[in-house]
Amino acid sequence: MTFSDLPPEVEELRERTRRFVRETVIGAEPAPGERLDPATRARLQAAAKEAGVFAPHVPKEYGGQGLAIEHWSPILQEAGYSPIGPSALNCMAPDEGNTHMLNLIGTEEQKERYLAPLAAGEIRSCFGMTEPHPGAGSDPAALRTRAVRTDGGWILDGHKRFTSGAVGAGFCIVMARTPAVDGAPEGATMFLVDMANPGIRVGEPIHTVDRAIDGGHPHLYLDDCFVPDEAVLGEAGLGFRYAQVRLGPARLTHCMRWLGLARRSLDIALDRAGRRELFGGPLDSLGLAQNLIAESVIDIETSDAIITKTAALLHSDPKAGSAMSSIAKVHCSEAIHRVIDRAVQICGGDGVSDGLPLAQYLNEVRPFRIYDGSNETHRWAIARRASAGRKAEVRAGEPYRGDAVAGRDGGA
C-alpha cells in the first residue's frame, strides 16, 4: 500500500500503524466467527498507546493523534488490515463517530464526562437511531421514540434495535422526537443517556453475520427514562441536522476500514496464486486468475480515490462532503465485497473454509450495504440530488439538452 503527497508526520504515523497492526495485532486475532474479548482489547489498546498510534482521529488534548479528516484514510486503512485493528486503535464504529460528534458539538461538561473517557478507551458507546418497523430505519423521518419535557429534564420512551455496541457500553446517544417547546422547533433531539440509567435496558440480541463491532447489535428499550436538561446534545429539535455531522464521516470511515480489509484479502489471494501450481504453472500466470486480480486492483484503487475526494470535501465543504459520502458508501461497500469474494474464488475450497479468514471477511463487509442506510436508499437520494442539481442549472441559464433531435437545444 502506497500513498503519495502525505505530510511527513502523517506518513510516519501510517508506517508506525502498519508495523503495529502487522507485528502486534494480527497475532492476537480471534478465530474466524469469534469476537475480540475485552481483556485482549484492553491489552492491545495499551500497546497502541505505547506505540504512539492510538486514536488517530481524536484531538491531542484527549490523548489522540489529532489528524484532520482528510488524512484519516491512510491510517484507518492500515488499521483495517486486521478486523480487530480499529478496536485496538480505538477508531472503530460506533465509538469513532460518537467521538467525532461529541468533539464538534458537545458542551465542555459533556466532553469531560463522555468524550474524555471514550477517547481514552476507558468506556465504549452506542448510537440509538434504528427502530423496529414502522419506526426509523432507512427513513429517519419515521422516528417513533419520543421525549417530552418534565421538571428539570426530559422523559424518553421508545424501542431501538440494531443498536451497535450496546452490550457493555457506558452511554448511548439516543435520537428521539421532541415537540416544539421553550423556543425550540418540533423535530428530533439527541440525548446522552448513561447505560446505568434505570429507564434504559439492553434487550434481546440480534444475531448477525458480522463480529467485528464490540457489543453486538441488540434491541434497546427506553421506558419512562428521565434525563436532565444537560443531557441534550446540541440543541433541542435539531437532531437530524446534527446527525449529518456524524453520519457523513461515519459512512466514510467504514469505507476506509473495510478497504484495508480488502487489501488484506487481495494479499492473501496473491500469495496463494503465486505459490499454487496449476496446469503446469503458477495460478497467477493463468488469464482467468489474472482477470480476477486485475478487477480487484481496479476496485481498490477507485475506492481509494473516491474516499480521498470525499474526505477532502468533508473538510472544505461538509454539506457537499456529506452528499458525496453517499456515493462513496455505495461504491465502496459493493467494490470491497467484490474484492473479498474474488479472493475467496482464487483460494478455492480453502477460501470458504475456516483455514483462511476470507469467508468471515465476507460476513463482516456484507452488512455494510445495509448499515448506515441501505444502498438502495442512498441511490434514491443520489438520483434526486442529481435531478435537482440539473434543474437548477437549467433555471440559471444552462442550455436544455433533453430533446431527442440531435443538435437541437430546447428552452428552459
Total Cβ atoms within 10 A of residue 133: 9
Q: At what angle do helices 72-80 and 239-275 cross, to 10 degrees?
A: 50
- In the chain the domains, ranked by start, together with CATH numbers, are 8-119 (1.10.540.10), 125-237 (2.40.110.10), 240-395 (1.20.140.10)
Total Cβ atoms within 10 A of residue 185: 12
**pLDDT tens for each residue of the chain, 412 residues long:** 556 689 999 999 999 999 999 999 999 999 988 999 999 999 999 999 999 999 999 999 999 999 999 999 999 999 999 999 999 999 999 999 999 999 999 999 999 999 999 999 999 999 999 999 999 987 888 999 999 999 999 999 999 999 999 999 999 999 999 999 888 899 999 999 999 999 999 999 999 999 999 999 999 999 999 999 999 999 999 999 998 888 899 999 999 999 999 999 999 999 999 998 888 788 898 999 999 999 999 999 999 999 999 999 999 999 999 999 999 999 999 999 999 999 999 999 999 999 999 999 999 999 999 999 999 999 999 999 999 999 999 999 999 998 765 555 544 4
Element (H, E) at 155: strand 153-160
Q: What is the pLDDT of residue 406?
A: 52
Query: Rounded to a whole number, what is the distance in angstroms from the first to the last CA of the chain?
Result: 48
Q: What is the pLDDT of residue 252?
A: 96
Distance CA 77, CA 74 (A): 5
Residue with cell 419512562: 224
Residue 150's Cβ-count burial label (10 Å; 0-12, 13-18, 19+) is: exposed
DSSP 366-392: GGGGTTTS-HHHHHHHHHHHHHHHHHH
Strands 277-278 vs 281-282: parallel, antiparallel or unpaired: antiparallel
CA distances (Å), origin 72, targets 1, 159, 325: 15, 34, 14
pTM of the model: 0.94
Total Cβ atoms within 10 A of residue 125: 26
Q: What is the pLDDT of residue 412?
A: 45
Q: What is the pLDDT of residue 281?
A: 82
Number of H helices and E strands in the chain, helices first, is: 12, 10
Strand partners, 281: 278
Q: What is the pLDDT of residue 89?
A: 98
